Structure 1
Amino acid sequence: MTLEGQRALVTGGGRGIGRAIAGALTETGARVGILGRDEATLRDAVAAGAAADFAVCDVRDAASVAAALGRLSGGHGFDIAVANAGAVETGPFLRSDAERFRRMVEINLIGTVNLFHAALPAMLERRRGRLIAIASTAGHRGYPYVSAYTAAKHAVIGLVKSLALETARSGVTVNAVCPGYADTDMAAASIDNVAAKTGKSRDDALAALLRDNPQGRLVAPAEVAAAVLYLCGASSDAVTGQSLMINGGEF
């Protein structure tokens, strides 16, 4: 597959799954821009060849996102926009106040909304484009101690389903990719958190995270990137409003 001549944008593209997606898109010939809050991480990703350019940007700020897209695309818009930036906070529901829920909605849902708002007009004008949200298996089922994150990811899936219907005849597709626990710094932080709170070893903490995964392993970022590539190709023109699970058969 080639995406030669296409422009792609990945939020949270400096590390983990976002960097893997940016690198995979670059390898197929797309010119990739990445957004994030850590300039050093973004610079490193560009220097390593994962992307062509970057902009420091907080995806929760709609004006900042729109300005970054305009600069990175040279005013031409993007063919592919991947909303990957996200965050998770853990804790029981009764210790998860409204502010925690707002934080999770702002980064996981509103960050996706802002990217899609900024990227969609140029796609509609060209009558072709790909909007992809990196959601989570937590967008489809509940998990204990992450109610705020789970609620936000459910909202992302609802956005994808609704926007896909609005754009169904426009040439633009809207989909989500939903990984289970992936081999990223976010998963490493979760493992450390479980170990610290329970006194378990890191190996036992990892086993606890993977107990519902029939394959018994973390998802590789490259596997998520491969799913994104499929959704960007011409063979997926009829795929919209879908959530592609990358979860080792968990459900």
Structure 2
Amino acid sequence: MAHRLDQQVAIITGASRGIGRAIAEAYAAEGASLCLIATDESRLNEVKDALGLPPERIMTTGLNVTDRDACFAAVAQVEHRFGRVDVLVNNAGVYRAKPFMDYVPQDFQDMLDVNLFGVLHFTQACLPGMQAREHGRIINMASTAGKWGSRNQSAYNVSKHAVVGLTRCLALEASPYKVTVNAICPGFIQTDMVEELKAQVALSSGISGDDMVKAVLTRVPLGRVLEPCEIASLAVYLGSAESRGMTGQSIHLDGGMVLS
């Protein structure tokens, strides 16, 4: 099925690489008009050029999602340019791995500023328009780390648990306006962040990144690292009319790593 997002306007944060870029590619193929957001404007422009969309269907904005005023200004620009926001994909995220006693308070704050408050800022900017039109899809990128405990990433887990909780609460409050709010909980996905994870885990635990991957895959029934396009396919479903009966869900896409 194609063109499931025709006439839809979507904002995608963290769109310059990895899962965010894959979602941008999938949304473009399904007919959406896009605002792509990331901190690295040069990489954003590379994605924009690679998508090959006509100028009337795409715009890019370089900003840090921790900047609340910039987030609200970006949404205002999208609404001025395209008339509305139909789909918000809160994908921007950061990761930092350390044993708990090696973390300092700023590590936790940094994780929360991007992974939680970035979601909060963009959602509060987009939701009023969605509620007024009684139409909208909000998709938050959480993680399996938001559903279970794991060693040496407590700050990251705290931030993703918060995203899962926020998703559930927002779904209840937005449902009278026919706005759905769901989260995707990826497992081990082949992205730049995974490569960073391998390096950080090697430093914090004393094992190699490759050995860490082998250890993780022993807990994955499908026995492989997933690809960003697999997450993007779920994001298309959650952004389309097909998912209109689903809200408040945090969906594992992890090769069976977390069974619940």
> TM-score scaled by structure 2?
0.92
2:77 to 71, 74, 79: 71
Matches within 5 A, 1:237-248: 237-248=244-255
Unaligned runs of 5+ in 1: none
Cα displacement (A) at 1:50:
7.1
Kindly indicate whether structure 1 or structure 2 has the higher relative contact order, using CA contacts under 8 Å at least 6 residues apart.
2
Let me know the Cα RMSD of the aligned residues: 1.5
Moved more, 205-214 or 90-99: 205-214
Are 1:60 and 2:66 an aligned pair? yes
Give the 3-state SS of the residue equivalent to 1:74 in structure 2. Answer: helix
2:33 corresponding residue in structure 1? 31
1:93 corresponding residue in structure 2? 100
Give the 3-state SS of the residue equivalent to 1:168 in structure 2. Answer: helix
Give the 3-state SS of the residue equivalent to 2:116 in structure 1. Answer: helix
- Amino acid of the residue matched to residue 68 of structure 1? A
* CA distance in 1 between partners of 2:105 and 2:217 (Å): 29
2:218 corresponding residue in structure 1? 211
* CA distance in 1 between partners of 2:217 and 2:152 (Å): 16
Cα displacement (A) at 1:146:
0.4
1:249 to 241, 247, 256: 256
CA change 1:201–1:90 in 2 (3 A) is closer
2:47 corresponding residue in structure 1? 45
* CA distance in 1 between partners of 2:207 and 2:175 (Å): 49
Cα displacement (A) at 1:192:
2.5
CA contact under 8 A between 2:186 and 2:252: conserved in structure 1? yes
* CA distance in 1 between partners of 2:169 and 2:78 (Å): 28
Cα displacement (A) at 1:208:
2.3
State the percentage of identical aligned residues. 39
* CA distance in 2 between partners of 1:50 and 1:178 (Å): 29
1:17 corresponding residue in structure 2? 19
Cα displacement (A) at 1:125:
1.1
User: Number of aligned pairs?
Assistant: 251
CA contact under 8 A between 2:38 and 2:61: conserved in structure 1? yes
Are 1:8 and 2:10 an aligned pair? yes
* CA distance in 1 between partners of 2:69 and 2:234 (Å): 30
Cα displacement (A) at 1:194:
3.2
CA contact under 8 A between 2:78 and 2:85: conserved in structure 1? no
CA change 1:142–1:199 in 2 (3 A) is closer
Give the 3-state SS of the residue equivalent to 2:89 in structure 1. Answer: strand
